[in-house]
Amino acid sequence: MPDSKHIDPIKLWQPDQQTQLNSHLHDYMAWLRNTHNLDFDNYASLWEWSSRDVAAFWKSLWEYFNVQYHQPYNSVLSGNEMPDFHWFEGATLNYAEHIFRKKSEKRPAILFQSEIHALSEISWQELEEKTAALAAFFLDSGIRPGDRIAAYLPNSPHAIIAALATASIGAVWSSCSPDFGATSVADRFAQIEPKILIAIDGYGYGGKKFDKRETVRELCALLPSVEKLVFIPFLDANAGFESDKTEVIQWDQISKDYKNSRLSFEAVPFSHPLWILYSSGTTGIPKAIVHSHGGNLLEHLKYLHFHNDVHEGERFFWFSTTGWMMWNFTLASLLCGSTIVLYDGSPGFPDLNILWDLAEKTRVTHFGTSAPFLVSCMKSGVNPKDNFDLSAMRSIGSTGSPLPPEAFGWVYEHIKPDLWLSSMAGGTDVCTAWVGGNPLLPVYQGEIQCRCLGCAMESWDEDGHAVPTDEVGEMVVTKPMPSMPIYFWNDVNKEKYRSSYFEQYPGIWRHGDWLQITGRGTLVILGRSDSTLNRQGVRIGTAEIYRALDQIPAIKDALIINLEKKDGSDWMPLFVMLAENEALDENLVATIKKTLRSTYSPRHVPDEILEVADIPYTISGKKMETPVKKVLQRKPLDKAYNPDSMRNPEAMNYFIQLAESL
């Protein structure tokens, strides 16, 4: 596991009294005192109660947020061991209904800009009308609760409208961003058999325009369950689309045909599917992770109010795509009565100032991004403090990968000295953060502020014992949370679900990160403890890389890893074993990069391609990605891998020699 060397860090921020008193978290603690006679001296004691008596804690949130239900629950929590648990059985509600509880004429619902679209706004009235029209179209098309709607869309208002319309009728939403190729999208959507596909003609990124209509045609052929295609001319307002496989309906025509529709909400069980997200595909086809209306509702109300401290009228931005759970999380900030700010395009075009310029123009209150973006700004000498008016900004969020201590300092020196820096970590698995921000606590350089309420997180050794304070172990969660997946799609008896999280410690969720819990209760995450690639803040499964490379006859076998460096950057080398009489020349390198980029995305392209004589395998035939990574991290060899468990132990010699040169 990673080294646990740690020096007491610098305190970078301390919330003033007004910030603490105005926070939702302070209000909640006062409410607990007044209504339940629960008095907590500090956040640590509140967290301890919330993670010990989880049923009482989540019941209190149901009351505090005045959850709008159609049928009451019979019990808060039943079941003895994860993942066999059930929350709020008997209750019926609707996630989208809670979004529209916050509609207001005083502020827009959405502000949107892209590389090819000027800044515009969507009022709550327009959002409601277009959501109602699309929902009516879905119903007329025979969509019923539980049916799937799939979207191949950019980070635009269309996606927000479509997701809310889907949720409002009890159908199930799933989305992929258009920088993914047809094979990658079909790997995901084919599993869930959507009846309707919503797609665009193309998008702009990095100053270039990408026509995706041919990809959409491929998807229509690869997804035989799709009965109708809703087409959006996003790149070119005059673009058309025809398909001999699927009935095509224009997006704007739906708004006209159903303009007088009224929005209503299907009351669904608490654990009814809301949306489907996807794992990174490390061990095969990406797993389809199903989240629930009630589970995500309670979790998002909790995190965005208590740990992001989002208030009505504030403006919430997180740079994301529709293929990342932070897009769902951004939508969720509407639960707080915020205005969401969307941007579609490259964060580095025409330069790294583009998002800071957007923050100034839209008066962003909460600015969210990835750790690699902040590191890139730091290394490029970007200085937002001197070039932009960020007076409205009071917090900046960072996720996707650990934020290095140097970047913490850069934020306070070059963005804003009184900013609340909220580093957070969670994942697609729970569609939220396990650990993150806290408006009552200080920010220490290089550390995450706290474990979130209701998250019984610990750091364990290989034998299932909690490690001492300040030591590093496996991140585990010992008690259930409502936002844990209800199941994986087509996963009989939860076999994949169990093997994904509960194989090492039965009944205990193992997340796959190295975790250090400090004596202050803060946290340091030291990278992945499994073979998942954490690429520029986005998790990528190695299996996706290998599936694409299988298309290239010159490559006999391959292995890929991603090494996180101490400065916050990373290095993703691809090791290839070539077929007989083949050479790793410029043409083959170009073919590999083009194949990965077109089949999946630019993030799948390695930093370097190296030829090896053999790929290490276990006796049971498993590719040894994690051991290779440990060798290249220069871990003790007896801790990195076991030669006796290998089919070809001599294959590791190359990586041992390479490690010495790094």
Structural contact between residues 23 and 460, judged by C-beta atoms closer than 8 angstroms:
no
Closest CA to 556 of 588, 526, 534: 588
Integer Cα distance of 523 and 450 in angstroms: 7
Kindly report, residue by residue over 500-533, the tens digit of the pLDDT: 999 999 999 999 888 999 999 999 987 767 777 7
Which strands form 472-477's sheet, in the order they lie side by side? 457-460, 472-477, 509-517, 523-528
pTM of the model: 0.86
Once rounded to an integer, what is the mean pLDDT over residues 561-589? 90
Mean of the per-residue pLDDT values of the chain: 93
Report CA 206 to chain centroid distance, whole Å: 22
Q: What is the CATH number of domain 123-266?
A: 3.40.50.980
Percentage of the chain with pLDDT > 90?
A: 78
Quote the strand ranges of 184-314, DSSP E: 196-200, 202-205, 208-211, 228-232, 247-250, 268-269, 273-278, 288-292
Residue written as token pair 């500090």? 42
Once rounded to an integer, what is the mean pLDDT over residues 586-612? 93
Task: List, in order, residues 6 or more apart from 283 with CB less than 8 Å away.
Answer: 541, 543
Kindly report, residue by residue over 269-292, the tens digit of the pLDDT: 999 999 999 986 544 688 999 999
Once rounded to an integer, what is the mean pLDDT over residues 334-358? 97
For residue 566, pLDDT over 80 is answered with no
Question: In which band, very low, low, confident or very high, does the pLDDT at 638 lie, cut at 50, 70 and 90?
Answer: confident
pLDDT at 281: 59
pLDDT at 284: 61
Quote the strand ranges of 376-449, DSSP E: 395-399, 420-423, 425-427, 432-436, 443-444
pLDDT at 537: 64
For the chain, the structural domain boundaries read: 11-97+272-528, 123-266, 533-661
For residue 538, pLDDT over 90 is answered with no
| Other CB atoms within 10 Å distance of the CB of residue 203 | 24
Most confident of 105-109, 425-429, 639-643: 105-109
Structural contact between residues 623 and 587, judged by C-beta atoms closer than 8 angstroms:
no
For residue 2, pLDDT over 50 is answered with no
| Other CB atoms within 10 Å distance of the CB of residue 101 | 12
Integer Cα distance of 455 and 457 in angstroms: 6
| Other CB atoms within 10 Å distance of the CB of residue 620 | 7
Top CATH class of 533-661 equals: alpha beta
Distances (CA, A) of 17 to 21, 34, 421, 638: 6, 21, 17, 52
What are the structure tokens assigned to 528, written together? 């992945």
Residue written as token pair 């986005």? 538
Once rounded to an integer, what is the mean pLDDT over residues 521-548? 77
- Say whether 123-266 and 11-97+272-528 share the same fold: yes
* Total length of the chain: 662
Statement: 11-97+272-528 belongs to CATH 3.40.50.12780: yes
For residue 129, pLDDT over 70 is answered with yes
pLDDT at 33: 98
Closest CA to 357 of 370, 408, 349: 349
